[in-house]
């Protein structure tokens, strides 16, 4: 189900600002935010539901995994433009086109640096060479794809007049969107406004193309700079959910969209974003990356609509607008209502999920319903947020090569902790016992003993889904293997079980993308022959 607002192009004379989402490219380049192909597709589908105009699905030349992810998203998405980033070289552009060519609305996004600093120390090119490369590569990209975006990397530290020459070359060669990025988060709102105005007033052909802006948050001004650029005439903003991205991150999509919507009295612009999907999109990105949103984050932080001060609470009770400039419902924030009960059937469960914005297929629904029933046996009160956590855990696909069969923990203050863990691998059960520094450490060591591989963690975190001693614990673990980072999740009212499930999920993801599985199978075959584990 898509928000009706997405169908609007321009309303009551308000200028439509296109939202270019780069969560899956620039956002995913942020340390700790890597995703696998299935996870990227899941995020892309939610971005489509959110109503973004362009999804930058990745940097196709960066790796085989990036290429496959861009291609998978291009094949899946139907209502958004799908773009791939490419340096201004034929090999990059060919790879980008190969990845997006099957999209309903494909775009190649190519770039080259224009600042003196980058020309001298990175590219080692003259200004004439940069203009020549721009002409050749944009023309080449145009021969493959109609929709070409061209970016002047490090634009805000570039000579204005030289950048105009480069932009004119790109436009003459077929670019349809010109991006003026603040690559290192250096500029200020007034300065950026003046730069966009200068480009609009001095660039031949600029009125025939879209002007895009892409701001980083190194000085904490990415959103302010983006809105200043829109005021100066930019009509596309590049941003990420939750503001994730390299270094201090990118301009946050949710902040830009809600600033334009809330202050429409000043900014006479609109977007095609279904704002009621903002919180759900934020939660999905946070869940998949394992990067928790700070509590005081604007729009999507846990405290964004919380009121602790007595004066504030009194005002909100009388009239919410005394201390709230937007409603929680406008961004899709749910009340933490108690839901259903032990005797609720699948139809009631499906109806509740649809009200929460989830449309599950029959297999996903059955799995989630079983988890829901199991949870009711463990918790006295089940909330909407519990259900959302179950759905996320059941609908983000990954191959279950290794499954938890059972575990037993012995822990005390007087003796070392021991853990016995039984794993099911290809319908065979394997068990091992290990000692450790606490139940989680012992369980992880027992799992490693079974699979025969040491997989150390770079992150281990437990979050309570709701309040109370019977709250579900959501465990997030991260591990690095062969230079790649993997994220695993577990969910249970038992934090030991949640931790084990998270560790097993990260092992399954690693096995899918490495040779560990074959090595493990060979070792387990030897174990069966020898009759030991």
pLDDT at 354: 86
- Domain check: are 185 and 99 in the same one? yes
Q: Which residues of the chain have pLDDT under 50?
A: 1-2, 4-11, 307-314, 316, 529-533
Say if 243 falls within a structural domain: yes
Say if 130 falls within a structural domain: yes
Residue-range definition of the domain harbouring residue 370: 346-395
Taking CA atoms, 97 is separated from 72, 140, 296, in Å, by 13, 11, 40
Question: CB 517: neighbour CB atoms within 10 A?
Answer: 20
Say if 98 falls within a structural domain: yes
* DSSP bridge pairs for 280: none
Distance CA 345, CA 368 (A): 12
Say if 313 falls within a structural domain: no
Distance CA 475, CA 464 (A): 9
Distance CA 442, CA 27 (A): 35
Distance CA 403, CA 47 (A): 31
- Domain check: are 149 and 249 in the same one? yes
H helix runs in 326-361, sequence order: 346-355
How many domains in the chain?
Answer: 3
Say if 105 falls within a structural domain: yes
Say if 283 falls within a structural domain: yes
pLDDT at 10: 47
- DSSP per-residue letters across 343-401: T--HHHHHHHHHHTT----HHHHHHHHHHHHHHHHH-S--BHHHHHHHHHHHHS----S
User: What's the CATH code of the domain at 228?
Assistant: 3.20.20.70
87, two tokens: 């340096």
pLDDT at 84: 98
- Domain check: are 250 and 185 in the same one? yes
pLDDT at 528: 55
User: What's the CATH code of the domain at 418?
Assistant: 3.30.160.270
- Domain check: are 144 and 224 in the same one? yes
CA dihedral 7, 106, 26, 266 (to 10 degrees): -30
Length of the chain as a residue count? 533
- Domain check: are 257 and 117 in the same one? yes
Strand arrangement, sheet containing 402-410: 402-410, 417-425, 428-436
pLDDT at 505: 93
At 431-447, the pLDDT tens digits run 999 999 999 999 999 99
Q: Which of 289, 322, 337 is the last residue of a domain?
A: 289
- Domain check: are 112 and 160 in the same one? yes
Which of 111, 230, 209 minimizes the C-alpha distance to 163? 111
Say if 3 falls within a structural domain: no
- Domain check: are 191 and 278 in the same one? yes
At 85-132, the pLDDT tens digits run 999 999 999 999 999 999 999 999 999 999 999 999 999 999 999 999
Given a contact cutoff of 8 angstroms between Cβ atoms, the answer to whether 284 and 332 are in contact is no
How would you classify the pairing of strands 269-270 and 15-16? parallel
* Backbone region of residue 371 per phi and psi (left: phi > 0; alpha: psi in -120 to 50; beta: other values): alpha
- Domain check: are 232 and 161 in the same one? yes
- Domain check: are 388 and 428 in the same one? no
Q: Which of 247, 263, 289 is the last residue of a domain?
A: 289
Say if 1 falls within a structural domain: no
- Domain check: are 203 and 271 in the same one? yes
- Domain check: are 372 and 427 in the same one? no
- Domain check: are 43 and 186 in the same one? yes
Query: Residue 129: phi, psi to the nearest 5?
Result: -65, -40
Q: Which of 289, 313, 332 is the last residue of a domain?
A: 289
């Amino acid at each position: 189900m898509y928000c009706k607002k997405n169908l609007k192009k321009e309303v009551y004379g308000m200028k439509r600002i296109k939202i270019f989402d780069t969560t899956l490219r620039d956002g995913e380049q942020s340390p700790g935010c890597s995703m696998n192909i299935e996870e990227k597709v899941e995020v892309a589908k939610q971005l489509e539901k959110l109503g973004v105009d362009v999804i930058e699905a990745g940097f196709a030349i960066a790796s085989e995994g990036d290429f496959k992810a861009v291609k998978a998203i291009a094949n899946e998405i139907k209502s958004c433009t799908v773009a791939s980033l490419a340096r201004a070289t034929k090999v990059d552009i060919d790879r980008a086109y190969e990845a997006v060519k099957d999209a309903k609305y494909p775009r190649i996004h190519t770039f080259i640096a224009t600042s003196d600093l980058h020309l001298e120390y990175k590219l080692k090119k003259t200004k004439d060479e940069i203009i020549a490369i721009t002409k050749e590569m944009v023309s080449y990209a145009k021969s493959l794809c109609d929709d070409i975006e061209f970016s002047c990397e490090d634009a805000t530290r570039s000579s204005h007049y030289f950048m105009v020459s480069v932009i004119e070359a790109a436009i003459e060669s077929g670019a349809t969107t010109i991006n003026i990025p603040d690559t290192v988060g250096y500029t200020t709102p007034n300065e950026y406004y003046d730069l966009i105005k200068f480009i609009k007033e001095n660039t031949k052909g600029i009125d025939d193309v879209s002007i895009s802006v892409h701001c980083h948050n190194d000085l904490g001004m990415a959103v302010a700079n983006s809105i200043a650029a829109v005021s100066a005439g930019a009509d596309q903003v590049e941003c990420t959910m939750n503001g994730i991205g390299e270094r201090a991150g990118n301009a946050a999509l949710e902040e830009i969209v809600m600033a334009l919507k809330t202050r429409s009295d000043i900014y006479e612009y609109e977007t095609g974003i279904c704002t009621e999907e903002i919180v759900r999109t934020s939660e999905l990105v946070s869940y998949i990356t394992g990067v928790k949103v700070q509590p005081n984050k604007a729009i999507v932080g846990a405290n964004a609509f919380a009121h602790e001060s007595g004066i504030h609470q009194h005002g909100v009770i009388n009239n919410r607008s005394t201390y709230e400039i937007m409603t929680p419902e406008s961004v899709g924030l749910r009340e933490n209502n108690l839901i259903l009960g032990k005797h609720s059937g699948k139809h009631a469960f499906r109806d509740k999920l649809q009200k929460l914005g989830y449309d599950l297929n029959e297999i996903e629904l059955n799995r989630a319903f079983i988890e829901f029933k199991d949870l009711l046996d463990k918790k006295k009160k089940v909330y909407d947020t519990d259900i959302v956590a179950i759905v996320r855990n059941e609908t983000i696909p990954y191959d279950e090569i290794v499954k938890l069969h059972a575990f037993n923990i012995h822990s005390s203050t007087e003796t070392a902790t021991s853990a016995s863990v039984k794993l099911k691998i290809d319908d065979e059960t394997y068990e091992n016992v290990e000692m450790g520094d606490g139940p989680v450490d012992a369980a992880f060591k027992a799992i490693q003993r079974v699979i025969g591989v040491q997989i150390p963690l770079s992150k281990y975190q437990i979050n309570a889904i709701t309040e109370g001693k019977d709250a579900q614990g959501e465990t997030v673990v991260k591990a690095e293997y062969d230079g790649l980072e993997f994220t695993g999740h577990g969910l249970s009212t038992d934090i030991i079980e949640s931790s084990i499930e998270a560790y097993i999920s990260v092992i399954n993801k690693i096995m899918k993308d490495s040779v560990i599985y074959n090595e493990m199978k060979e070792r387990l075959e030897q174990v069966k022959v020898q009759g030991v584990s």
